[in-house]
C-alpha cells in the first residue's frame, strides 16, 4: 500500500474513532430515538395519515407530537400503537 494512502486511511480511522466515543446523556439519546421513530412512522404511514404533506418532508423534533396525533387519529391500530409509543 502506498504511504500516502496509508496516511489518509489512518487519519480517517482516527477521526471516526473520536466521533464514535462521544457521550450523550440519557435524555438526549431518548429524544434522538423518538425523532428517528417519528421519521420512520411518517414514511411508513404517509399514504394513510400524511397524504396531504410533502413525501420528502423532514420531520423535526417539534413535529413529533403532530406525527403522534395524526398516527393515533388516522393510522388504525398499528398507527395508534406507534403514536402512543411516541407520546411516552
* pLDDT reported for residue 49: 94
**What average pLDDT is seen over the chain?**
89
* pLDDT reported for residue 43: 96
Write the DSSP assignment of 1-44 as a string of letters.
--HHHHHHHHHHHHHHHHHHT----HHHHHHHHHHHHHHHHHHH
How many residues in the chain? 88
Any idea what DSSP says for residue 63? G
Residues near 56 by beta carbon (within 8 Å), at least 6 away in sequence: none
Which phi and psi (to 5°) does residue 60 adopt? Answer: -110, 175
Locate the domains of the chain by residue range.
27-87
Q: Give residue-wise pLDDT tens across range 30-60.
A: 999 999 999 999 999 999 999 999 999 999 9
Amino acid at each position: 500500500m502506498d504511504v500516502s494512502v496509508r496516511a489518509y486511511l489512518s487519519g480517517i480511522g482516527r477521526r471516526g474513532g473520536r466521533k464514535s466515543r462521544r457521550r450523550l446523556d440519557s435524555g438526549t439519546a431518548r429524544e434522538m430515538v423518538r425523532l428517528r421513530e417519528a421519521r420512520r412512522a411518517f414514511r411508513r404511514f404517509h399514504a394513510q395519515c400524511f397524504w396531504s404533506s410533502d413525501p420528502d418532508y423532514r420531520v423535526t423534533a417539534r413535529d413529533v407530537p403532530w406525527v403522534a396525533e395524526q398516527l393515533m387519529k388516522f393510522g388504525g391500530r398499528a398507527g395508534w400503537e406507534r403514536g402512543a409509543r411516541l407520546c411516552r
